Amino acid sequence: MKLAVIGTGYVGLVTGTCFSDLGNEVTCIDVNQAKVEGLKKGIIPIYEPGLSELVLRNHEEGRLQFTTDAAEVIPDADIVYIAVGTPQSDSGAADLSAVWKVVEGIAPHLREDALVVVKSTVPVGTNGKVYDMLKKLCGREVNVASNPEFLKEGSAISDFMYPDRVVCGVRNEAAEELLQTLHAPLVRTGKPILFMSPESSELTKYAANALLATKISFINEIANLSEKVGADINDVRIGMGHDQRIGFQFLFPGLGYGGSCFPKDVRALASLAESLELHPKIMRAVDEVNVHQRASLVRKIDAFYGGDVAGKTFGVWGLAFKPKTDDIREAPALELLSYLVEKGAIIHVHDPEAMENVQAQFGDKIHKYCKSEMEAIDGADCLAINTEWNEYRTPDFKKLKAKMTTPTIFDGRNLFDLGTMEKHGFTYFSVGRRPVDVSQA
């Protein structure tokens, strides 16, 4: 099939690239000329494992093209995907201005039998508005479907190629047959393609993300309670997770969720409910708990030092909101860095992928951007861990302690065993577990 994918952000680029790898002719369209020219040369604007190689191979083999000229591509497309960003507006609702601009732009060029698919995460009812808008602009009915994405940053290619399910919101058999054919190679292992109304598909996306976010906020509340009553959250988590009704996924305590999806989608769902005069108490509570949790490391550091961190050197491991991405949107590390900058601390940071993005935001307020995690703790008064990159999990603790001025660790991801910390003589604070304080020994 011939596909046009409008938007080369995270979702659009992964979608277009993976569909081209399945043998389709795909053209990705973006208004940013520099970005398009970079993609043609293999310059990928985001970090996603395996994506660069996939883009290069399919571009070289002629299945994947990039352009700014929608008018040249749309008339030949069997399916036109709308995959532009829908950022959070000041009110918390999704900003759909980019979607409307795309609709206006493609209307004069659509084939009569073309299918327009909304891939962007949009509030319930958006598909219907796109349908009405295209009908008015084109002077005829246009087939419009929804196909929400369920991609995790860091494993997006695998998630796309081996989905748990494919969700499609359609109005007629023609759209269903086309999307069935397109997605058939992805579900050969028996995973389902779920066809439903566009409204149901739109709500499915938000509801799924909101429930996962709820699990994260819930376990963090239990972790905070564990600290107060002397329980160990890891034991509690295991005791809960073996209940098959609950499971272990998204049941890890830490510094909360961040990134481009969960925060925005939870707030957008709550905003939608409020616009319909409903009271989304759970969604607002999930967001409130998460915002509070992101600063939990800051509160522990502030309490330990009595608010006086000026002149102290902090080694900071992890800046991205999660491993295997360079995304720092709503990352807990930003809370910590802002606090340390404001209090006059000396800050040395390391992250395998996200340092460039942090440098763009903080500049020389961060004293050192380090090439390795060990460089970041050289002469440090303490270490703060925000992201659970694999390379942080098994350090040489003797070397770690020798490099630090005082052996103090604030671990927002529970990477280390309490007994190991005691054995090596670290003062150690984690999430939902008792502190190890050798300074009081």
- Catalytic positions: 261
Q: Any binding-site annotation on 86? A: yes
Place of tokens 């970041």: 376
Q: Any binding-site annotation on 159? A: no
DSSP count for the chain of H helices, then E strands = 18, 14
As given in the structure block, the two tokens for residue 253 are 């305590």
Q: Any binding-site annotation on 245? A: no
Helix residue ranges, H only, 148-229: 156-161, 173-183, 198-229
Sheet bearing 115-118, strands edge to edge = 64-67, 25-29, 2-6, 79-82, 115-118, 143-146, 166-169, 193-196
> Under a CB-based contact definition with an 8 Å cutoff, are residues 286 and 269 in contact?
no
Q: Any binding-site annotation on 264? A: yes
Q: Any binding-site annotation on 252? A: yes
Q: Where are the beta strands (DSSP E) in 53-185?
A: 64-67, 79-82, 115-118, 143-146, 166-169
Q: What does the alpha-carbon distance between residue 281 and residue 323 come to, in Å, rounded to a whole number?
A: 31
Q: Any binding-site annotation on 323? A: no
Q: Any binding-site annotation on 35? A: yes
As given in the structure block, the two tokens for residue 49 are 């494992």
As given in the structure block, the two tokens for residue 395 are 């350090």
Q: How many CA atoms lie within 13 A of 77 on its CB side?
A: 26
108 C-beta neighbours (distance < 10 Å), count: 12
Q: What does the alpha-carbon distance between residue 377 and residue 362 come to, in Å, rounded to a whole number?
A: 19
Q: Any binding-site annotation on 136? A: no
Q: Any binding-site annotation on 343? A: no
Q: Any binding-site annotation on 152? A: yes
Q: What does the alpha-carbon distance between residue 432 and residue 219 come to, in Å, rounded to a whole number?
A: 9
As given in the structure block, the two tokens for residue 123 are 């509030």
Q: For the purposes of burial, counting CB atoms within 10 Å of the CB of 138, is it exposed (0-12), middle (13-18) or buried (19 or more)? A: middle
Query: At 199, is the secondary structure helix, strand, or coil?
Result: helix
Q: Any binding-site annotation on 251? A: yes
Q: Any binding-site annotation on 121? A: yes
Q: Any binding-site annotation on 69? A: no
Q: Any binding-site annotation on 318? A: no
Sorted by sequence, the CB contacts under 8 Å of residue 104 that are 6+ apart come out as: 133, 137
As given in the structure block, the two tokens for residue 389 are 């990159």
Q: What does the alpha-carbon distance between residue 221 and residue 233 come to, in Å, rounded to a whole number?
A: 10
Sorted by sequence, the CB contacts under 8 Å of residue 342 that are 6+ apart come out as: none
The kind and range of the H/E element at 234 are helix 233-241
Annotated binding-site residues read 30, 35, 86, 121, 150-153, 205, 250-254, 258, 264, 322, 329
Annotated binding-site residues for NAD(+) read 30, 35, 86, 121, 153, 264, 329
Annotated binding-site residues for substrate read 150-153, 205, 250-254, 258, 322
